[in-house]
Amino acid sequence: MERRSDDMASTSNVLHPAAILLSLLIMLSSSVSATAGYTLVSTIPHDGSAFTQGLEIQDGRMFESTGLRGHSQVREISMEDGSLIRSHDLNDSFFGEGMTLIDDRILVLTWKAGLILEFERDTFNQSTHYDIEGEGWGMCSFEDRIIVSDGTNQLSILDVITLEPTESIQVTSNNSDVWNLNELECVGDKIYANQWMSPFIHVISAIDGELITTLDLSNLPSGTSGDTNEVLNGIAWDEERQGFWVTGKNWTNMYLIELHEADQNEDQRDVEDSPFDSIASKKSLLLASLAILVTFAVAVYLNQPPPSLSAYNEDE
């Protein structure tokens, strides 16, 4: 018993080289999955009465969909000063959600009505509608497919013409599901997703649903009323300015940000309040803890007390 307790004591004081190496490998792997950074490029006003659910830019024109029954609209917004150019009220029974544009079609999701509404882009006249299963939260589109979120960890893929579902993507991060996916933006081979009730935008592979990185926008000034529903929601890619416009529900500003997905921008470190605020930092802490546990387990498994302690035991 005494020898065993001595051996156990040795593992807590002396690290075997293999254990140290393993720990370093785990620590290094944790530093690879960094949080994305950003640079704030421009700020313009945003209608504080707009419960933003969808945001998209097409050919230098910005469109927005808003929610809440009796207040849901599809709108066109000036990208110069954020002013309202025109709007169309949705039926009072609809709670508007995300939106996307395909050529001259504007598609607007409804939350629980099981419908996607289609409007003519230049008249805002409703042209048709499509049935969907379940809830509608966010939407974006590539040339050949539409992506729809429903607040879960699943993204549905719809045909651009029929809006029939063709398949789905499960969004994961290191085999853990990523939930509450909301407003979306499709750019290149990636899907950018607001996470409901968080300041995060997740960057997701459109190929396999794997989380690539996460952007923490908690330092952007948000809504002014203190209402907890005033969360970040709304992301649109500005092709001309090569940045993302972001805003939130009832936010009074919109922000153009340049995204640094590899966290190579030192400025971002100044933007973050605390390293413990970011998902990546939390992940690093988790992995560091795991590294310590693995170190301990390997040392116990190897069961090799240091020479000094072995000598002490032999002397006994």
Please give the residue ranges that form the binding site for Ca ion (CB under 5 A).
55-56, 185, 236
Q: Which is nearer to Ca ion, 56 or 76 (CB)?
A: 56
For residue 194, the minimal CB distance to Ca ion (Å) is: 9
153-158 long-range contacts, CB within 8 A, separation 24+: 153/177, 153/178, 153/179, 153/181, 155/181, 155/184, 155/191, 155/193, 155/204, 155/209
Q: Which is nearer to Ca ion, 23 or 53 (CB)?
A: 53
Q: Which is nearer to Ca ion, 47 or 185 (CB)?
A: 185
Q: Which residue is nearest to Ca ion (CB)?
A: 185
Q: Which is nearer to Ca ion, 62 or 280 (CB)?
A: 62
Q: Which is nearer to Ca ion, 62 or 236 (CB)?
A: 236
For residue 21, the minimal CB distance to Ca ion (Å) is: 45
Q: Identify whether the C-beta of residue 37 lies closer than 8 Å to the C-beta of residue 263.
A: yes
Furthest-apart CA atoms within the chain: distance in Å: 93
Cα distance between residue 76 and residue 106, in whole Å:
11
Cα distance between residue 48 and residue 182, in whole Å:
20
Tokens of 53: 């659910």
Q: Which is nearer to Ca ion, 236 or 279 (CB)?
A: 236
Which residue type is seen at 101? Answer: L
For residue 105, the minimal CB distance to Ca ion (Å) is: 15
Phi and psi at 210, nearest 5°, equal -75, 135
Contacts of 240 (CB under 8 A, 6+ apart): 60
For residue 52, the minimal CB distance to Ca ion (Å) is: 10
Sheet holding 154-158, edge to edge: 138-141, 146-149, 154-158, 165-170
For residue 36, the minimal CB distance to Ca ion (Å) is: 17
Q: Which is nearer to Ca ion, 10 or 110 (CB)?
A: 110
Burial class (CB within 10 angstroms; exposed 0-12, middle 13-18, buried 19+) of 103: exposed
Cα distance between residue 118 and residue 120, in whole Å:
7
For residue 75, the minimal CB distance to Ca ion (Å) is: 14
For residue 197, the minimal CB distance to Ca ion (Å) is: 18
Q: Which is nearer to Ca ion, 236 or 256 (CB)?
A: 236
For residue 186, the minimal CB distance to Ca ion (Å) is: 8
End-to-end CA distance of the chain: 13
